[in-house]
């Protein structure tokens, strides 16, 4: 059995499932947001705050955030392994992407749950 050193034990199927599953979550999120906007013609700040401040929507926002970060990570990891051949540069790029993803995640948690 051949294993790839750069995949860290993951298979292509695993990455594919993450990409497709996260895309479905983001698509559902877009449908929910558009549905709310269409059904609320004279949207006010208080209506928007009430909608986004509900526990269900906060959890859905968190799930969508995790999905976006996972989707982006798999995509950037794939691009970096395909197109950045020098190992040191690829590692620096992947670490920078991981640090940025973590920082965005912490920042978004503060925004979502700090309200």
Please state, for a pLDDT cut of 90, what percent of the chain lies above it.
81
For the segment 21-63, what is each residue's pLDDT rounded down to a tens digit?
999 999 999 999 999 999 998 999 999 999 999 999 999 999 9
pTM over 0.85: no
Three state DSSP letters for the chain: CCCCCCCCCCCHHHHHHHHHHHHHHHHHHHHHHHHHHHHCCCCCHHHHHHHHHCHHHHHHHHHHHHHHHHHHHHHHHHHHHHHCCCHHHHHHHHHHHHHHHHHHHHHHHHHHHHC
For the segment 71-83, what is each residue's pLDDT rounded down to a tens digit?
999 999 999 999 9
């Amino acid at each position: 059995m051949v294993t790839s050193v750069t995949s860290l034990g993951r298979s292509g199927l695993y990455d594919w499932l993450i990409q497709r599953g996260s895309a479905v979550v983001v698509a559902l999120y877009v449908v929910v947001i558009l549905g709310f906007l269409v059904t609320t013609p004279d949207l006010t700040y208080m209506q928007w705050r009430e909608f986004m401040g509900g526990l269900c929507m906060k959890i859905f926002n968190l799930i969508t955030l995790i999905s976006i970060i996972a989707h982006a990570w798999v995509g950037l990891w794939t691009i970096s392994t395909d197109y950045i051949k020098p190992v040191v540069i690829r590692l620096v790029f992947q670490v920078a992407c991981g640090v940025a993803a973590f920082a965005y995640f912490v920042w978004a948690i503060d925004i979502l749950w700090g309200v």
